[in-house]
Chain A
Amino acid sequence: MSAVTPRAMGQALDRLEGADKVRGLAPYAFEHPVPHPAYLSAVRSTVATGEIVGIDCSQASAQPGVLAVLTHLNAPRLGTDDGELRILQSGDVAFRGQFVGGVIAETSEIARHAAGLVRVEYRERPHDVDLESSRERGQLRVPQQTMALFPMDIDKGDVDSALASAAVQVDCTYRTAWYNHNPLEPHTTIARWTSDGLTLHVSTQHPRGVQTTVATAFRLEPDQVRVFSPHVGGAFGSKGPRHSDVILAVMAAQLVPDRPVRFALTRHEMFTQTGYRTPTIQRVRLGADTDGRLTAVSHESIEQTSRLKEFAEHATRATPTVYATPHLRTRQQLAALDLPTPVIMRAPGECPGMYALESAMDELAIACGLDPVELRLRNEPDTHPLDGLPFSSRNLSACLREGARRFGWESRDPTPRARRRDGWLVGTGMAATTYPTLRLPGSKVTIRVTPDGRHTVLMAAVDIGTGTRTALTQVAADALRVDLAQVELRLGDTAYPPAAPEGGSAGITSWGATICEGADELRRRLAADHGGTVPAEGLEVTVDMPENPHLKQYAMHAFGAQFAEVRVREETGEIRVPRQLGVYAVGRVVNPKTARSQLIGGMTMGLSMALHEASLLDPRYGHVVNHDLATYHVSSNADVGTVEAYWIEEDDPYVNPMGTKGIGEIGIVGAAAAIANAVHHATGVRIRELPITLDKLLPYA
């Protein structure tokens, strides 16, 4: 693995697709011009669990303009055993809102109206949708490992004795809400069956994944399925794994061969069909000596999954990495409920887990009478606390110090509820943040060069708004040692070599390292076979993502420190966040402009998580009642104050040839804890359940 010399990397370039996006001309999946499209509208179950005993499509079918009605009675048998994807395979209903049919019609208006005319009769079964009561009844199980990095359950040393004998102890339980990703572009598909196979335009983080999933489900060869995904209107994890909307669209298209079928989930449907972040109940116990040095850490998380499929968010995943402690325990338990299946959402694991751990660290700082920044500095490990590996680079201390300096932390009076300004209680809080430097398998790239020196780089990667198209072009230019203008990067089409999913902040690591390998191979071939000159017919190479020889030798993680100022209206409990500031150590920053946007976007989503967002379940019916953007509040412009993101120089030769660590997720990690800690500093009240809303503060006004 040879390091790439930065020339294009490090430049703050505007997004390459900017001029298209500001005019609305960059086509998202649903928008591709297709000849004579038909429209699909879904029929969804109105019971939480049960069985369909009768289904009457006569009224729907009789509507002028209706082309076909899809139910479990005429749906094809699927070749997948994925419980979430196996829709319409029987009359069984596993959660409220599950797809039970669909109507295909000439227009979207007709399809939607007719979908409402499909009459479905159910025999209901009692359902169980309540995480808290499952926990009380002890109906929990240990999950299978789903997010490999560390084992879910860790035992190092003797936590119980260490906790019992610790001079200072914290034992608190924190709760996070059910969050929905709500990318602004809903999940959308255009599906068209022809005699050659299937063409799909899908809003996805992983075109190759859609291709193989659909091929398996519909018993096709992968090369009979072509997936386009040039622009994606946000995803945050929901468009990573496949969901049943693509399956429904493909089933529908089968009923109207040759016609492209357009399917966009409604915003309501986005709350049941696309996964969500599980609520968590996390107990954190910390033991420390009087100097604030941790002697024991215990972190347990309880979460939910569905009965259809297991997904466990590894909320304790960051815990072994952040602080030195001789005794450590992590535990994870799941309740399987009659609900949709949760899924990865921006920093799955780290995001809810670090909210709990960093809130507990704030409580420990107070218990020890220490400054929260100082407490964290005192618990810096020399090597990875779990496996003893050296860090490839670790600059948490530098981030803490630089963040404190920029934020003006030094003058902070730790006394809670001690500052009032114009009727507002004012407080500040901070938290550490971390995210692992991951690489995901499954990438290849093809690079072509022509005698005029132009390079075309092809891979089925995607830009979901992260700035990939621009940053990866910068990586490619430096890997190929040419100017940016000589590189054309083509993404979002499974006709190109497969690429690992967009996720885990691993895009640049996985795809970039693959491109660097391709550039090396191109140079080798040019030198060996062509005397260093590009032949008249051009030259093309295709390579796989290379191994990283350092993976087993170093622990690879990004770090950072987040600070927040909070104001709470004394009489009403209204909470405002005038300022957020983060300093990060994320390796090389490829494009400072788009990177900053990623970081502040994550921090703002963390603000939204801390104060605004929660999907509220009605246990009687088993559905999210606030399933729209009016009542599920995501932060709006007026909710957000100043958001500052900085990074320190960090040279990491081990992570990948670019020296990058990934930036898409770390911004949300710790943001909620910094705000929650600031709320405590402002009010003297510790709310251990997100979101922190004024009704939770009012009793203490």
Chain B
Amino acid sequence: MDTEITLRVDGADHRLTVDTRTTVLDALRERLGNTSPKKGCDHGQCGACTVLLDGQRANSCLALAVAHDGAEIVTAAGLATDGELHPMQRSFITHDAFQCGYCTPGQIVSAVAMLQEAAAGWPSAVTFHPADGTDGGADAGPVDLAADPDEIRERMSGNLCRCAAYANMVPAIQEVARS
């Protein structure tokens, strides 16, 4: 069954017809021709399709387009504004935090969102201390990513990189977290 929806993608409004089975990822890639988010698994297992969906990172292969009528989506292409790369994008380039580049748009969107999550004090498995039951949550204030590479490793583990550029991604993200 086909349905008409609107999506705001990287600042531009689109009206499009989708199959009710169409994912946000396929709506972007196969309907709108925005192939910035990648398809690595289509199962929510690799993170290559990560976009900002209404401000938060999401695996767009797990979201049905019809369920997100009117949503605001930002892809890695949209993080660069007025031809200027986002600081995270520049940092990935200078640290060579990718090889084939297929996971990269997802990694970068994820990293940008992750910085906001940490600033908002969201906990992670690293922040959580089972011994005293505290989770370093909102009360604990912002998480200092620059100081703790394990926080970055943990929070970025939803994005696989088969080329294994992890050891370069961590300092790339740390540098942006510091600034």
CB of B133 to closest CB in A, whole Å: 19
Contact B164 A22 (CB under 8 A): no
Contact B38 A233 (CB under 8 A): yes
Residues of B within 8 A of A467 (CB): 99
- Bound: A209/B48 CA distance, A: 28
Interface residues of A in 602-632 (CB under 8 A from B): 602-605, 608, 628-630
CB of B37 to closest CB in A, whole Å: 7
CB of A576 to closest CB in B, whole Å: 11
Interface bin, chain B: 35 or more
Residues of B within 8 A of A19 (CB): 85, 89, 93
Contact B80 A23 (CB under 8 A): yes
CB of B111 to closest CB in A, whole Å: 10
Residues of A within 8 A of B119 (CB): none
Verify if A392 is at the interface (C-beta below 8 Å from B).
no
A109-B19, A233-B38, A638-B154 known; A600+B164 contact, CB < 8 A = yes
Q: Mark interface residues in A1-30 (1 if CB within 8 Å of B CB, else 0).
A: 000000000000011011111111111101
Contact A184 B40 (CB under 8 A): yes
Contact B167 A107 (CB under 8 A): no
Residues of B within 8 A of A26 (CB): 101
Residues of A within 8 A of B76 (CB): 22-24
Report the nearest B residue to A27, measured CB to CB.
B35
Contact A25 B36 (CB under 8 A): yes
Query: Which of A18, A466, A608 counts the most chain B CB atoms within 10 A?
Result: A18
Chain B interface main SS type: loop
Contact A597 B168 (CB under 8 A): yes
A109-B19, A234-B100 known; A640+B162 contact, CB < 8 A = no
Partner pick for A184 among B30, B100, B150, B170, CB 8 A cutoff: B100
Contact B46 A184 (CB under 8 A): yes
Interface residues of A in 267-294 (CB under 8 A from B): 267
Verify if A199 is at the interface (C-beta below 8 Å from B).
no
- Bound: A603/B94 CA distance, A: 21
Interface residues of A in 87-126 (CB under 8 A from B): 107-110, 113
Residues of B within 8 A of A22 (CB): 76, 85, 89, 92-93, 98, 101, 104-105, 108
Contact B160 A23 (CB under 8 A): no
Verify if A637 is at the interface (C-beta below 8 Å from B).
yes
Contact A184 B75 (CB under 8 A): no
Residues of B within 8 A of A18 (CB): 92-93, 98
CB of A514 to closest CB in B, whole Å: 24
- Bound: A695/B76 CA distance, A: 40
Report the nearest A residue to B80, measured CB to CB.
A23
Interface residues of B in 66-89 (CB under 8 A from A): 75-77, 79-80, 85, 89
Residues of A within 8 A of B161 (CB): 184, 637
Residues of A within 8 A of B92 (CB): 18, 22
Can you offer 22 A-B residue contacts whose CB atoms are under 8 A?
A14-B96, A15-B96, A22-B104, A22-B105, A25-B77, A31-B35, A233-B102, A234-B162, A266-B42, A267-B42, A465-B98, A465-B100, A467-B99, A594-B96, A628-B43, A629-B45, A630-B45, A634-B162, A635-B164, A636-B160, A637-B159, A637-B169
Point out residues on B near A: beta carbons under 8 Å: 19, 21-22, 26, 29-30, 33, 35-43, 45-46, 48, 75-77, 79-80, 85, 89, 92-94, 96, 98-105, 108, 150, 152-154, 156-157, 159-170
- Seed contacts A23-B79, A640-B153; 15 additional CB < 8 Å A-B pairs: A18-B92, A23-B76, A24-B38, A25-B36, A30-B35, A108-B26, A109-B26, A182-B162, A185-B102, A234-B100, A597-B163, A604-B166, A608-B164, A629-B45, A637-B153
Task: For the complex of A and B, list the 4 residue pairs with the smallest distance between their C-beta atoms, beginning with the closest.
Answer: A465-B100, A233-B102, A24-B36, A21-B101
